[in-house]
Structure formats: C-alpha cells, structure tokens
Amino acid sequence: MRHLYTTVIVLLCVISASAQELVLNEQIRREVIEAALSTLKTNYVFPETAQKMDAAVRERLARGEYDKISDPKSFAATLEMHLQEISRDKHLLVYYRSEQIPVNSGTSVSWIGGLGGLAQENYGFAKVELLEGNIGYLELRRFAPPEVAADTVAAAMNFLHNTDGLIIDLRQNGGGAPPMVALLCSYFFDQPTHLASINWRPEKLTREFRTSETVKGKRYVNKPIWVLTSQQTFSAAELLAFVLKHLKGAVTVGSTTGGGANGSRMRRLNDHFGMLVPEGQTILPFTKTTWDGVGVQADLAVPASDALRASHVEAVRNLMERTTDQTRKTALQETLKKLGPSHSAK
C-alpha cells in the first residue's frame, strides 16, 4: 500500500482530466531510470542500499525487463516495486503525473491540495469527542504543519482537558509533519523533552524535534493514554505512537503499524516522473532504535476495527480501579456491560 502522507510534506501535482497521457519510449524509460538511480546514490539515507538498488535495476534493464512497458503508470509502479524489493523501504515511492512537474519540486514542499485543502479537513482533526465514562477521544487523520494548525490543536486539547483518560485514534493516519507531532506531544509533557532527531544525508545535518516549553491550550499530564493503531498507521503517526508508548506509558491498541521511519523528500526525475526519497535517518534518543521496517507493536493486539471499543473498555476499567466513589464505580460497571467483553493488555 502506498502511504502518501509521510514524514515530510509532499508535493504532488494535480492531474487534469483533459491532460494527455504520455506514451513511453526507450529514451524516456532510460532517462527516468538513470535519474532515479543517480538521485538514490546521492541522497538515499543508506548509501550501501542505494548501491544494491542501482545494481539490481541495471541488471533488469540489461535483461530488457522494462522494454515492453508503454504505460507510464505501470512503469512507475514496476520501478517502485523493484526498488522496494531491495530496500524494503515503504517511504520509497515512484510516481507519474500527466501534467508537467515543476522544476523546483525537488526542494519545494507543499501539502496535497494546498493549505486551503488542509483547512477543509480541519488539519487532520477528524473527531474530538467525550465518550461514556468521561474518556476523551481524539481521531487524527494526518499531521499538518504547526504554523497553520496550532489553534486547532489548542482547541482540541482544551476540550479534552477535563477527561479522566484519553484515546488517540491513529488508525487512518498515514503521517505528515514531524513538527506537528512535537507540538501535540508538548501537551503531554510538563518539561521540555527531546523526542527525536533526523540525520539528513544530503546536507550532513541533524534536526532535532523537542516539545515546547509553552502551549496555547491546557496540558494533559498524569492521565492514562491509549493509542489506536493499524497497518495504515505510518511515518509521523508511528512517531507519535512510539513516543507516547515509551515515554508516557501509553498503551497501543490494534495491530502493528506500517514501519516507515525515515525522513523523505520529493525529487523530480523528469517532466512527468518523480520519486519520494528517504534521505534522513530518524534517531530516537530514548531507545537508540526506531520502528523502521518493523512497525510499532500493539500492547493490546486486537483487530483494528475493534480497537476503539477495546481501548474504551480498558479505559473504563482503569478508571474503576482508581476511583473511590462507589456511586461512580457502579455507573462505570454499567458502562462496561454495554461495551462488551474486555481484552488483556500485555
């Protein structure tokens, strides 16, 4: 499955319905392949893997495996598949656009549909809700840039502030901007905390992501958190799940995530082909490891479709264990009966 929202903000050109599809020939195929391999050798996060991809694709090229592919979309998908067979990197994508790709797209970054499109999706905040038992529920579909979504984060966290536990739903979140993960995490930490670093190979520089000393809304600290995950949970969404799991004791509920940790950028190959290239290695200071290739494991493994109910049950049970109010305890017991059977966390 292709994950379109990654650890960088991805530029994709809009396809016009009237745009004429490109017919491939040998020159175009070779031009795209050479540009892709050159880009990987220069920028891919792991140089040795880039060399292996180069050798493997050139062997296929010499055998004529690309010669009969005339459809550009099929060619992009085939080349992507061959590159991923070697790299096992789900962030490494090859794409085709019938409209011409801007020359500067290798360095420019923008959200699909523009920032206006993000506003129409409420910057990824799909739902903020109070569940029975005074459990907060936050469904996030993506991580938008903090500069446009900070007020939305504050509004959501203010709404959730008085709840006794929080469920964060990342089951349909394919990633986005790491700075947004850092901003959201700032509400869960009462002290500045180093969350992650990305070592960018092309520039030979490291960028750190830390929580903020101040936030616009109210912090959410010293309360239990459950994070819902699925195979579609990817990239920056995995970063949030990993950080909350290891640093705040959050319980992950659902299934193992997609397993993409490296920072990526869109690179232009020619007028109609581009490639998302993992160029930065993510380093987590608190574990010295990442979830790349393996995903974030669920503490409470249940079908993703049942993760919300299962986490709600666990949240209510947790609250029952903490409350001394017998009247409330009785009400929570009734809530548990309505929710159904529970599961056992690891």
For residue 75, tell me if it sits in a domain.
no
Residue 191 one-letter amino acid: Q
CA–CA distance, 150 with 134 (Å, rounded to integer): 25
Worst-scoring range by mean pLDDT, 19-23, 128-132, 181-185, 211-215? 19-23
Q: Yes or no: say if 164 and 346 are a contact pair by the CB < 8 Å rule.
A: no
Q: Yes or no: say if 192 and 132 are a contact pair by the CB < 8 Å rule.
A: no
For residue 232, tell me if it sits in a domain.
yes
DSSP assignment of 246-270, as one string?
HHS-PEEEES------SEEEEEE-S
The residue to which tokens 């959200």 are assigned: 111
For residue 237, tell me if it sits in a domain.
yes
For residue 151, tell me if it sits in a domain.
yes
DSSP assignment of 300-311, as one string?
EE--GGGHHHHH
**Which DSSP helix (H) or strand (E) runs through 276?**
strand 273-283
Taking alpha carbons only, the member of 2, 55, 67, 65 closest to residue 28 is 67
- Centre a 10 Å sphere on the Cβ of residue 213 and count the other Cβ atoms it contains: 10
pLDDT digits (tens, 9 = 90+) for 235-285: 999 999 999 999 999 999 999 999 999 999 999 999 999 999 999 999 999
pLDDT digits (tens, 9 = 90+) for 161-194: 999 999 999 999 999 999 999 999 999 999 999 9
For residue 236, tell me if it sits in a domain.
yes
The token pair that represents 9 in the structure block: 């903000």
Domain of 323: which CATH number?
3.90.226.10
For residue 44, tell me if it sits in a domain.
no
pLDDT digits (tens, 9 = 90+) for 285-307: 999 889 999 999 999 999 999 99
For residue 250, tell me if it sits in a domain.
yes
**Residue 143 reports pLDDT greater than 70:** yes
Domain count, the chain: 1
| The predicted structure's pLDDT at residue 23 | 83
CA–CA distance, 93 with 80 (Å, rounded to integer): 6
| The predicted structure's pLDDT at residue 116 | 61
For residue 137, tell me if it sits in a domain.
yes
pLDDT digits (tens, 9 = 90+) for 43-102: 999 999 999 999 999 999 999 999 999 999 999 999 999 999 999 999 999 999 998 888
**Which DSSP helix (H) or strand (E) runs through 323?**
none
What sign results for the dihedral spanned by CA atoms 252, 144, 222, 338?
negative
Its domain, for residue 215, covers: 114-262+279-339
